[in-house]
Structure 1
Amino acid sequence: MRHPRLGCSTITFRRLDLDRALGTIAELGFREVDLGSLPAVCEHVPLRLDGRSRSRVVTAVRNSGLAVRSINADIGDLNRPATRAELDAARVHLDSLLALATDVRATAVVLPNGALAHDPVETLGADLDRVADRLVEAAGAASTYGVELWTESLHVHRLCCTAERALALAARLEGSTVRHVIDFSHVVAAGADLAETIDALGRGIAHVHLRDATPGDINLSIGRGVVDFAQGLIALQRNAFDGHLTLELETHDVDDADRASAAAAAADTIEPLLNLDSVST
């Protein structure tokens, strides 16, 4: 079995149906998964999550024997002004995700930091205020289900595409229950210093995504970029991080037929580093 703190996202096997993706992850020895529910990326959790589709997801997860750490989802562009009808629809979507999270005993639902665009809809400050307000509202809804609400604060394709913007959002979320997912590949692709970004988010980090990157490119297999995973893990240890880490290998340098072996190789690289006492500081 793989290290108990190291999971694998179904996004790694996004071209497989959910049952096959979960089966492959289980066969590789992982004990837990993140479930993908992202438009045009991974819809293992359907975007239209009615009772029937929710039941199918629950059955697939239970049959796999895997635990679920989080559901990585998108309920709309949180920085865009929305009509009452749009807000109501987003709340219904969130409620269905939270109900599913309860059914599969997921720790959290993860929402993005804004739209898949760098330019603000209004001003950067106004957009960040709106994202923060909607994340805090979502966290309030999550708490009624006993589920945590996390956000991927830095994403090179979204509104918070730099460490500066991610930290500005984090500052607006201080004092709330919203916590942060840090993806090593997005930090490096954004040109930020990984250890400094981890230190800045500090104990607000709830979860970690792992993939390799070079500046401007987040879609590399572990070992093919410039991410210093050992130093990132040292920084997490320095900040008393006690959460879990997930291989989210949405890579463009591996054929689909080779994804299972690439995921195994990635785990083989990361697992020795999770014995943090053995990593020189």
Structure 2
Amino acid sequence: MRLLIALLLLVNALLLAMTAGLLPRPSPEAARADVEQPLRPDRLRILAAVPGHDATNLPPQADHSPHSAEDKADGEAPAAPPSASPESSTPAVVPAPAAAAAEPTPPKPTAAAAPPLACLRLAELDPKLLPALKELPQGLPGVQIQERKSEKPTSWRVVLPPQGSAAAANRRLENLQQAGVDDAFVIRDPGPLQWGISLGLFRSEESAEKRLAELRSKNVKGAQVVARTVPVIELSYQCPPSVAGDLRRRIQARFPQLSIDACHP
């Protein structure tokens, strides 16, 4: 505490001496002269900027003024020349010349298109002949056999649908006879038309339609035309044109009764 009081007393004494003029103070003109020193152009140095580097980090360049020469004579070492930057030492990349356009490759020769196949057809075959007909092309190259089954109508019947029982069929037959309908009988064979009434059997569909129109004129209702069909088999041979002639001769020699028709494969 005593040390602090002594320091305060000392500071107050110094301030008192300065205000009383006991201590000299520097004049404002002298202070301004010390701060405002004249510039010397011969001492100025221009720093060259290097791309990619800060100019402040470069070493100073040599001064070629007369004063700088005197300074060097007094013992000042000359400044080292700035080292080349990695960017400036890298050789410029010269673009490679464009490659010559590649010559178009010639198109590959295409194979000649195969000639269309020939087709021979045998229609309405007896199923018993199929094994022998399928063996005929043996030894002939490129022969393909296709088999197709279908139904062929052989006759057309005008009928009344099944009546449900024999008694009902007999009653309906009596009514038809009273209306003047002749050539009618009850179908008694087992099958989808059992207990139906047959009103006529015809070889052509046109004849069956005429009979149906006649029955309608006599006010007979419910009659219809039903086709009677049998299964038929069709066989076709698809082969190269060079083989079709030999195949046709084989079929005619083995089965002269068959008709051979041309078809589209």
If the length of structure 1 is used for normalisation, what is the TM-score? 0.18
The structure carrying a bigger helix percent of its residues is 1
Larger RCO (alpha carbons 8 Å, 6+ apart)? 2
Decide which structure has the larger Cα Rg and report it: 2
